[in-house]
Chain A
Amino acid sequence: MSAVADTHAQEHHHGPAKGISRWLLTTNHKDIGTMYLVFSFAMFLLGGTMAMVIRAELFQPGLQIVNPEFFNQMTTMHGLIMVFGAVMPAFVGLANWMLPLMIGAPDMALPRMNNWSFWLLPCAFLILVSTLFMEGGAPNFGWTFYAPLSTTYGPPSTTFFIFAVHIMGISSIMGAINVIATILNLRAPGMTLMKMPLFVWTWLITAFLLIAVMPVLAGVVTMMLMDINFGTSFFDASGGGDPVLFQHVFWFFGHPEVYIMILPAFGAVSHIIPAFSRKPLFGYASMVYAVGAIALLSFVVWAHHMFTVGIPIAGQLFFMYATMLIAVPTGVKVFNWVATMFRGALSFEAPMLFAVAFVILFTIGGFSGLMLAIAPADFQYHDTYFVVAHFHYVLVPGAIFGIFASAYFWLPKWTGHMYDETLAKTHFWLSFVGMNLAFFPMHFLGLAGMPRRIPDYALQFADFNMVSSVGAFMFGATQLLFLLIVVKCVRGGKKASAKPWDGAEGLEWTVPSPAPYHTFATPPEVK
């Protein structure tokens, strides 16, 4: 184990190891990125299956398929798996693959920790999913796990849920530290902060958000753990605690968390729209500042999730206006994307289709968010399907479409082959129609007063629920097509050139496709 031997091995530019140990022991950012993406897609299918159970039960009024207890477990697990298992790891996977390529670094700054932070995730989700088979069932208190529902009244498996959240939290924090260290230290010579690609910028800010709020999440589940098992009374009124405190601490984490799930998508879309508009991004600097402003504001709006618990009028006004203020930087971003497309030489390949749909549909989700931000109106909307419609509009065509757009955009770089454009467009259109069919009627259901998290509903909601379920089945089934497209693309297809998109910019297009196992051993010069 001498330094000489190490240097010697280095000079040979070894490829990946063979067999399973390649994946277990790898410190290569591309391997780890691939594992993150595969894992997140597996979780997406699992969480999606749960959504199908939910929509099947809600297809008609009455109780048909599952009992209410299991229904509650499905909504809870669907939320937890989609948030922590599908969306977040997908973005970490994209970060692993693309950040070093975009900033001209040979790898992530902390490759061994990178391996560790990935492999914690399957462990965390094994624990979480195993609660489904435990006595008393899986967590059934909603993904927001409000106390005392999750403490005094939670199932015995809650302790396993807490442990799983701890592990996935540690994984996220390590991932975030790695991203920060990589971006701050490993940029190619000449790449100043304001020359960084936007995906890098958004991920840097996301990583800071993760570091700021994941420990608070760890703190709140630790308090739950102590309330459940060690007789403390953080959230128990009989011992002097306060259940509302839970909501404050949770949403102090929870609101920045929703930006953690969307900011990297903002970054990716800011690459894709210019590439297919064949124009540089409009307003680069304002995009950076807008993301920063959104991130900062996300820390002072948390109580808009809890207007109905009884907040003094001054507090309601503060959180209402602060929330509405977020529309300003978000609006800047939407206008910049539109301005980028304006008079561009547009072409609509799959990544662009997803990116344009992202801009339009995310804006709809933003508008319903503004409606929810109005404190007096929120008293009507609170805990109805309108809220479900809102956050699915920002997360499905927001985060998920952003991930699909990124996947199609960079698949040629990852695999060396072009994906099947016809199938990809089919995937887009079926997803687009299915998703809108599934979630748009939920706005009407919510305004008409249908509460969320219920397995049965009044008869007047039947028609819209049936439409919604049909859309959900369509969206769900379509995702198998995505699996097929990716498998096809990995196995073969038209050879991709180093830069398959003529309008694309960035260092990642200067390396051959597929990207070699080791890239940028010598840093490129950025002018």
Chain B
Amino acid sequence: MTSEKPQAGPARRSTTRVVGWCMTAVLGMFAFGFALVPLYEVFCEITGINGKTGGRYEVTEVSEVDVNRTVEVQFLAQNGPDMPWVFKPEVRSIKVHPGESVTINYVAENPTSEPMVGQAVPSLSPSEGTLYFHKTECFCFNQQPLEAGERTEMPLVFIVDRELPEHITKLTLSYTLYDQGKPVTVSAGQSKNTTTNENG
């Protein structure tokens, strides 16, 4: 069975060292795999490449409206898996000037006989425009509870940045509405099951 060599003293010690280094590398790479998750988040936040629009935008100074330029903004709505709500934008598309603050509404209706909670997740295309699309108010910042049969208008206030690259003339904003289950009763302590502001 045993195959230890009598004169294996120094060789064994250095084998332990090699194994130690290798195990460190293995654990390091395992951790790196998970570190890719926040790294990817940060990378996408800086570059906007995954089309995830940012969180609430604070208007610091009233920017001038660039009336010479018109950008078309299209609105899409779709339902996540098994989401029974009626969900659509009030307008399919509007023309805006960069710098102007625009309000549009999405409409949601819960046709079921149960109270439900929905969460909308936005995505912007082309992703190059993501950094130049600011939402000062959005229903997607919060979860939306609806009673059975209830219908609501959900506002979205946005500004297209004046810095939007010249070659982009059309932006498409798509929301996917996901079923977040039944509302948690307020008496249970927390009214929301998860914070979803990061979804912005």
Contact = CB atoms under 8 A, between A and B. Distances in A.
A binds B: yes
B196 interface: yes
Interface string A298-320: 00000000000011100100000
Interface string A214-246: 111111100100000000001001111010110
Interface string B1-36: 111111000010011001100110111111011101
Nearest to B36: A249
Nearest 9 A/B pairs, CB to CB: A219-B33, A238-B178, A215-B30, A215-B29, A216-B33, A177-B22, A181-B18, A181-B15, A240-B199
A252 B6 contact: no
Interface residues of B, number: 45
Contacts of B26: 173, 177, 211, 214-215
28 contacts: A7-B6, A27-B1, A106-B3, A173-B26, A176-B22, A177-B18, A180-B22, A184-B14, A185-B11, A185-B14, A211-B25, A211-B26, A214-B29, A216-B30, A216-B36, A217-B33, A219-B30, A219-B32, A219-B33, A234-B37, A238-B176, A238-B178, A238-B180, A239-B196, A242-B40, A249-B33, A310-B51, A315-B49
Interface of B: 1-6, 11, 14-15, 18-19, 22-23, 25-30, 32-34, 36-37, 40, 44, 47, 49-52, 80-81, 119, 121, 127-128, 176, 178-180, 194, 196, 198-199
Nearest to B49: A312
Contacts, number: 112
A311 B48 CA distance: 11
Contacts of B36: 216, 219, 245, 248-249, 252
Contact of A238 (B11, B27, B33, B119): B119
Contacts of B14: 184-185
Given A185-B14, A237-B176, A244 B50 contact: yes
A239 B196 CA distance: 7
A523 B139 CA distance: 74
Given A215-B26, A220-B33, A310 B3 contact: no
B80 A111 contact: no
A460 interface: no
Give the most central of B22, B50, B128: most A CB within 10 Å. B22
A152 B29 CA distance: 26
* B contact face: mostly helix, strand, loop, or mixed: helix
A190 to B, nearest CB: 16
A312 B47 contact: yes
Contacts of B22: 176-177, 180-181, 211
Nearest to A313: B128
A234 B1 CA distance: 47
Nearest to B30: A215
Contacts of B40: 242, 245, 248
Nearest to A1: B2
Contacts of A315: 49
B15 A185 contact: yes
Interface of A: 6-7, 9-10, 25, 27-28, 106-107, 109-111, 152, 173, 176-177, 180-181, 184-186, 211-220, 223, 234, 237-240, 242, 244-245, 248-249, 252, 310-312, 315
A177 B80 contact: no
A213 B29 CA distance: 7
Contacts of A216: 29-30, 32-33, 36
Given A107-B3, A212-B29, 19 more contacts: A6-B2, A27-B1, A27-B3, A177-B23, A181-B19, A181-B22, A185-B15, A186-B11, A211-B22, A211-B26, A216-B32, A220-B33, A223-B37, A237-B178, A238-B179, A239-B194, A310-B49, A312-B47, A312-B49
